[in-house]
Structure 1
Amino acid sequence: MADAQQLAQQILDSVGGSANIADVENCMTRLRVEVVSTEDVALDDLKATDGVMAAIAAGSNLQIVLGPGLVDRVANDLSTLRAQPSDPAPSVTPEELAARGAAMKSAARSRTDGRTMRAVRKISAIFIPLIPALIACGLIAGINGILTNLGWLPGLTPFLAVLSSGFLSLLAVFVAMNAAKEFGGTPILGGAVGGIVVAAGVANVSVFGEQLAPGQGGVLGAMAGGILAAYVERGMRRVTPDVIALIVVPTVTVLVAGAVTLGVLMTVAGVVASAIGVAATWLLANGGAFAGFVLGGFFLPLVMTGMHQALTPIHTTLIDQTGWTVLLPVLAMGGAGQIGAAIALWLRFRRNEALSRTIRGALPAGFLGVGEPLIYGVTLPLGRPFITACIGGAFGGGVVGLFDQLGHTVGAIAIGASDLSLLPLLNGSSGFGWALLGYGSGLIVAYVVGFVATVLFGVSASVRADLEAQSSAPAGDPVAPDAPIDVDDARVGTAASAAR
């Protein structure tokens, strides 16, 4: 097991010390470090550090893959090291002071931008631990649906129905538990508030003359209730004497947060959730191919910036409402377009060992829905292929959107999967067969258009000359600085990709 404190010190040294770090945060597998100056970062040393699985630089943002468990310990130790006082700074010239002020201004801007991303990731982190169970229950539900439609094994289908629906029936409870935990509260108290949302007795409650229904507000109401419970609990712990805290804090937390959830949040969240469902269904039913074209074409930039994580609660809300999300199959076309682009580059520059090795390492993950290695290792560093990949995704999304417009809704009954791994999780208004046809047609179109667009327009003359020059260079020659990042040793599993 790697020494977390030693690894944290090595990372600190490689990124230029505490003064060069604007912000640090982590997800399930990666340490995200926002640096003030990229010139002070020793990226090669960072990649060579024992315990670092991969290090990817995207501007001033460093993505350091450490793996689950270790990343939490390293993040804590790195925060401790950053907090240690440094030696008194020597006198500096006015020019150096001006440069330092400019760096501080840049760091402040980075921190401001980071607050938005931290909020997005915090909300996304509520749902990430639920993804394995959503996938498992979704697969079981899919198998059960196929058996039911075929009339096979009638004695087994009720058994599978219970296995697939048990978790989903209590999804609001798990969401509220994770929400409370993410915002500094006790998970079980959040779960107690979330349980109110799905309690059968809700049917006996009227708010402002309107009778509530069990499950009203769904995961959005439960999430809001769990977050509120965390804030109430934290506030009560600050003012409650220790001798009575065990009784007073949980009681007041459930009473206050539960009452607000029952009296306000369920109603408000119900309106919001209904609006999301209506908007998503209307968009693809009426916008059809055009809406799918836009959504599929712009998804890769969202993944690149991490903003795709904001869609997680929307997907979950749609699944909770209708049984599937119509957005995920359309958005998944972005990754399919990128696969087509990568294959085109592989065939065109197969003599370039660095690029070929990168693509060989990233393609299998791409087919399973893990798009980051291809984004940061191939298409984005080369520039144009990222655009042609988006074009492929747009055309694939247009095909899926066309099926929706024709009345054969293509949906996914679980999140956390994409590309080929999404096939068993398909369903829709016309059943699995039509959903498979729509999604499969979109995949093929995205692959082909991404491939053709990259062959025709994907590489500029200067980049082509550089790649061909590297192809003819003797073995052992250094790769050009602007060559694609080698991610052959930076493969990240599907579960880790979901955390992103």
Structure 2
Amino acid sequence: MATASKYEVIADEVMRAVGGAKNVKSVTHCATRLRFQLHDRSKADKAAVEATRGVITVVESGGQFQVVIGNTVNNVYEALTAHHEVTSEGAASGGLLAKAIDLITSIFTPFLWVLAGSGLLKALLAVWAKADETAAASSSYAILFAAGDAIFQFLPILLAVTAAKKFKADVYSALAIAGALIYSATVAVIPNADGASVTLSAFASGGGELTFLGIPVVMVSYLSAVIPTILAIYAQSKLEKVLNRVLPDAIRNFVTPLVVLAVIVPVTFLVIGPISDWAGSGLSSGVNWFWGLSPLIGGALMGAFWQVFVIFGVHWGFVPVMIQDLSEQGYSLLTGPLFAAVLAQSGAAAAVFLKTRNRDLKAVAGPATISAFLAGITEPAIYGVTLRLKKPFIFACIGGAIGGAIAASGGSASMGFVLPGAITLTSTVDVGNFALQLLGTGLAIAIAFTLTMVLGFKDIPNKEDAEAVAGGAVPSEAAAVTSPVAGAVVPLSAVPDKVFSSGAMGTGLAVIPSEGRAYAPISGVLLTVMPHAFGIRGDEGLEVLVHIGLDTVELNGKHFSPLVTQGQRVTAGELLVEFDIAGITAAGYNPITVMIVTDDGGYAAVVPVATGDVRCNEPALDLVG
């Protein structure tokens, strides 16, 4: 029996953790992540997915359970679909924005890499033309330029395939529709005033009267057309459903495409194309108008928030606008600040690589830095390094804002659809001020790197150091947080509440109380006082939450007698509240008491040390300095 590849292992483990193939409504992938739509989210074990070797993190956004893999996501996706019966079809749940993002990602991601590769080829050709003035006139240059530019000119062909799959339309009829749109600008089919055959586009632009059954046709350019193609295929899918339902079996196979082509192509020329062109041109003009008002502000906003958009997956909403710009003017001003935004993350990740003492984090930060810097793939850097540590991500956003503003102020933009990275910087050579683009990008990297190195971040201790503390050894200065109640200690992971058990709120433990008194686990000021919950901030910034019972907020204070008030200063061991365990239980609520460190105040690690039965005010958590 052949040994399973590492991609097959990842795919199998992820599939088990999301609840198996029966729990998967559909799965697709983008540049770095698997995008699951699940029947029952509660059957998916997020922690188990994130613990899978080869998985960076899990993001839940837009009704999708997104598993971030990185550059090898396509390999994992192929292994997953080859070994498990899952479909790539399905509509996103959630609101209009979620469905719009799902539509865009489903249509564009299948050919994203060839789009990016073609853009990179054009960027390299731009460098060649700058270095050698005679290059652009050579046949070698022309052949390579055709290779790099063809996908952008004939983009409707690719869109027809992916849109047809998304809308469940016939792929070959969709290709015929897209071909007809491109045909109008590429093949001479109608004589002009002097009798020479020209394309439909040339005929209309030359003053010819272009009509269909006497109805005037407003001819627009369908080369690189995005919105008209997608809408045309959507209309095709709806018409096909009607035809397949009403036509007899004997004629359906050839009459359906006949009617589809005879209806959809003219309708696109008459209605869909002009309206789509107007809408797309409006979006493009709006961006250019805003940039004209203040390119500094536009560049700063894109530079600061682009990676935030990436995190939530809404960056795909900018793709149609960018491609519309590319088809109309050959560049998109939205792309200029993105190099600073992306490469700033590589600068912050590089600083983490040099500064961290955690061997596992260093092992992630190194490759993530290279991936982000060279190829513009930032998910490994974001989820594995900068966002995980919080401050480096913020520092990178600051660098991106400053660098993006500088790049945008010079009118910089990329010629072609590229993933912003060091290699593809050459795509901005011919648009705007390339020197300002280099300055802005360089400053973004330097700012993110310097802030991370100087201001630092809360490092993650090595696993063996934390285990040593749990076993009684103290590798560095340690302080203790005491148990707020007496009773039996329960690991946080065993608490029957996902908010607490997941560790999303912080590290801690739980105690099944044996008596109805809760005491302050640290000295400090009470930030929150509710009958069932108390938040305390210590003098050094440590914040601890004591939460008595699960869902006990619904008791509205019944069975609780607080003895302190919000804003009051308390000392460790001071009585906070008395509560009736029997009354809470009789009301149908679990009285288990959870204690969580919600802000570690700069300590390197929080380690639960209490086990078995614990008494009030005995050490429960160790804080490793």
2:104 corresponding residue in structure 1:
123
Q: Distance in 2 between matches of 1:39 and 1:426?
A: 43
CA deviation vs aligned residue, 1:326-365 (integer Å, no higher than 9, x gap): 212312322222122222222322x221221110121111
**Distance in 2 separating the partners of 1:164 and 1:14:** 41
Identity %: 22
1:193 aligns with 2:177: yes
Describe the superposition over 1:367-422 as per-residue Cα deviations: whole angstroms up to 9, x where unpaired: 12000001111111222222222111111111111112xxxxx2212224212132
Q: Which residue of 2 aligns with 1:357?
A: 363
Shift of 1:244: 0.8
1:321-336 to 2 correspondence within 5 Å?
Answer: 321-336=328-343
8 Å Cα contact 1:30/1:64 also seen in 2: yes
2: distance between equivalents of 1:293 and 1:332? 12
8 A Cα contact 1:31 1:64, kept in partner: yes
Matching residue within 251, 255, 262 for 2:258:
251
Shift of 1:268: 0.7
* 2:465 alignment partner, one of 457, 473, 477: 473
Equivalent position to 1:443, from 441, 444, 450: 441
1:177 has 2:181 as partner = no
1:224-373 mapped onto 2 (5 Å cutoff): 224-349=231-356, 351-367=357-373, 368-373=375-380
SS in 2 for 1:473: helix
Structure 1 residues 335 and 10: alpha-carbon distance in aligned structure 2, compared to 1, 3 A threshold: closer
Give the whole-Å Cα distance in 1 for the aligned partners of 2:223 and 2:258.
24
Q: 2:57 matched to which residue of 1?
A: 56
Is 1:136 equivalent to 2:118 in the alignment? Answer: yes
Per-residue CA deviations over 1:247-283 (Å, capped at 9, x if unaligned) read 1110111122212211111111111121122222222
SS at match of 1:411: coil
Letter of the aligned partner of 2:273 in structure 1? M
What's the CA shift for 1:71? 2.3
Distance 1:266 1:393, change over 3 A: same
Residue number in structure 1 paired with 2:568: none
Aligned counterpart for 2:52 among listed residues 47, 51, 55: 47
Q: Is the 8 A contact 2:395 2:448 kept in 1?
A: yes
**Given the superposition, is the C-alpha separation of residues 72 and 233 from structure 1 closer, same or farther in structure 2, using an over 3 Å criterion?**
farther
CA apart distance, 1:41: 4.5
Query: Which of the numbers 140, 152, 157 marks the counterpart of 1:168?
Result: 152
CA contact (8 A) 1:333 1:446 kept: yes
CA deviations over 1:156-196 (Å, ceiling 9, x no partner): 34444544444433223332333223221122322222233
SS in 2 for 1:125: helix
1:151/1:6 CA distance change after superposition, 3 Å = closer
Instruction: Classify the secondary structure of the residue corresponding to 1:54.
Output: coil
Give the Cα separation in 1 of the matches to 2:249 and 2:164: 21
CA distance in 2, matches of 1:355, 1:7: 20
What residue is the counterpart of 2:134 in the other structure? 152
Once residues 145 and 340 of structure 1 are traced to their aligned partners in structure 2, the CA distance between those partners, rounded to angstroms, is 25
Moved more, 34-43 or 441-450: 34-43
Write the distance in 1 (CA, Å) between the matches of 2:308 and 2:16: 31
Q: Which amino acid aligns with 1:240?
A: L
Distance change >3 Å, CA 347–CA 180, structure 1 → 2: same
Structure 2 residue 229 is the aligned partner of structure 1 residue 219: no
Q: 2: distance between equivalents of 1:111 and 1:224?
A: 19
Name the count of aligned residue pairs.
Answer: 434
CA apart distance, 1:313: 1.7
Counterparts in 2 of 1:79 and 1:118: CA distance versus 1, 3 Å: farther
Give the superposition deviation at 1:44.
Answer: 6.8
**1:326, 1:233 → 2: CA distance?**
39
Q: 2:56 touches 2:383 (CA, 8 Å); kept in 1?
A: no
SS of residue matched to 1:296:
helix
Distance 1:302 1:440 in 2: 23
What is the alpha-carbon distance in structure 1 between the residues aligned to residue 92 and residue 167 of structure 2?
Answer: 20
Between Structure 1 and Structure 2, the one with more strand by share is 2
CA RMSD after TM alignment: 3.9
The AA in structure 2 aligned to 1:422 is T
TM score, norm. by length of structure 1:
0.74
Normalised by the size of structure 2, how large is the TM-score? 0.61
Q: In the superposition, relative to structure 1, how do residues 133 and 307 fare at CA in structure 2: closer, same or farther (>3 Å)?
A: closer
Q: Whole-Å Cα distance in 1 between the matches of residues 283 and 349 of structure 2? A: 34
Higher relative contact order (CA 8 A, sep 6+): 1
What is the letter of the counterpart of residue 311 of structure 2?
A: M
- Check conservation: 2:170, 2:237, Cα contact below 8 A: yes
Query: Displacement, 1:322?
Result: 0.9
